[in-house]
């Protein structure tokens, strides 16, 4: 009988996709909440557009810088741990051998079965260090270009997401009507973004979409209510 080809589907989210998710999710919710909040306090779409664009600019820079520093921190942490591991392989080989045996034991491999593998690692110190970094510390060598790429990706994703809630304020000059359009457009964008994010991450797409809409909606509603409360209480 012909055998059906077995295809394994595993999600391996790239760092770029994670950066897009980080930037886009904040870009959609924060400016949306800001615009909704200002709509409850001011009567000029020009003020909302100006404040919204300022927030998008500042937010994209802050988020991009945060992504850059996080990636740099990961790279520096990896290098410091690798130097320590190189030193231990040279100065404490017996201890490192014991740690290799312990790693294999966690996979159900006995010391006798692991012995030739340990010997093979000893013959290649560089590979031995790679092995310890991966299986003892759970660290992968970061891409040297990762920091800049992360910063740019997060910043651009934030800008792309942040402009969506502001679009209606550019073309509609009545604040409450612009807010209504902004709510509709942003909810649709949040739903689509959450759905796509769920498909990429392997989660339930519909559940991810509804959660994303709920989070963005709650943030905007809270900002709107707070701004309306403050504006009514002010003289």
Q: Where are the domains of the chain?
A: 15-227
Evaluate whether 165 touches 186 at the Cβ level (below 8 Å): yes
Both tokens of residue 121? 């690692």
Alpha-carbon dihedral 91, 96, 97, 103, rounded to 10 degrees: -170
Two tokens, residue 207: 């559940």
Residue in 100, 121, 120, 122 with CA at minimum distance from that of residue 111: 100
d(CA 155, CA 64): 5
What average pLDDT does the chain have? Answer: 80
Residue written as token pair 């919710």: 29
Taking residue 141's Cβ as centre, other Cβ atoms within 10 Å add up to 12
pLDDT of residue 64: 92
Nearest to residue 185, comparing CAs of 164, 163, 208?
A: 164
Q: Is residue 56 packed enough to be buried (19+ CB in 10 Å), middle (13-18) or exposed (0-12)?
A: buried
**Spans of the chain below 70 pLDDT:** 1-13, 201-202, 220, 223-224, 227-228, 230-235
For residue range 64-97, what is the model confidence (pLDDT) as tens digits?
A: 999 899 888 888 888 888 888 888 877 787 888 7
Residues 177-194 have pLDDT tens digits of 988 898 888 888 888 888
pLDDT at 152: 92
């Amino acid at each position: 009988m012909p055998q059906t080809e077995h295809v394994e589907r595993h999600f391996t989210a790239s760092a770029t996709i994670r950066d897009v998710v980080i930037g886009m999710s904040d870009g959609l919710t924060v400016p949306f909440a800001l615009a909704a909040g200002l709509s409850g306090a001011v009567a000029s779409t020009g003020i909302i557009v100006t404040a919204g664009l300022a927030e998008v600019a500042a937010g994209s820079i802050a988020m991009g810088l945060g992504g850059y520093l996080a990636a740099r921190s990961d790279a520096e942490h990896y290098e410091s741990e690798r130097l320590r591991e190189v030193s231990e392989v040279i100065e404490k080989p017996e201890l490192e051998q014991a740690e290799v045996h312990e790693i294999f034991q966690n996979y159900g491999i006995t010391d006798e079965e692991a012995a030739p593998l340990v010997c093979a690692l000893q013959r290649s110190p560089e590979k031995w260090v790679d092995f310890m970094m991966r299986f003892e510390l759970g660290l992968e060598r970061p891409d040297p270009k990762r920091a800049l790429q992360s910063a740019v990706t997060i910043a651009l994703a934030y800008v792309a997401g942040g402009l969506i809630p502001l679009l209606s304020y550019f073309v509609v000059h009545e604040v409450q009507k612009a807010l209504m359009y902004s709510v509709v457009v942003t909810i649709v964008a949040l739903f689509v973004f959450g759905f796509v994010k769920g498909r990429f991450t392997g989660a339930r797409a519909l559940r991810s979409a509804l959660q994303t809409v709920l989070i963005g909606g709650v943030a905007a509603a809270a900002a709107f209510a707070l701004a309306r409360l403050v504006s009514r209480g002010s003289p």
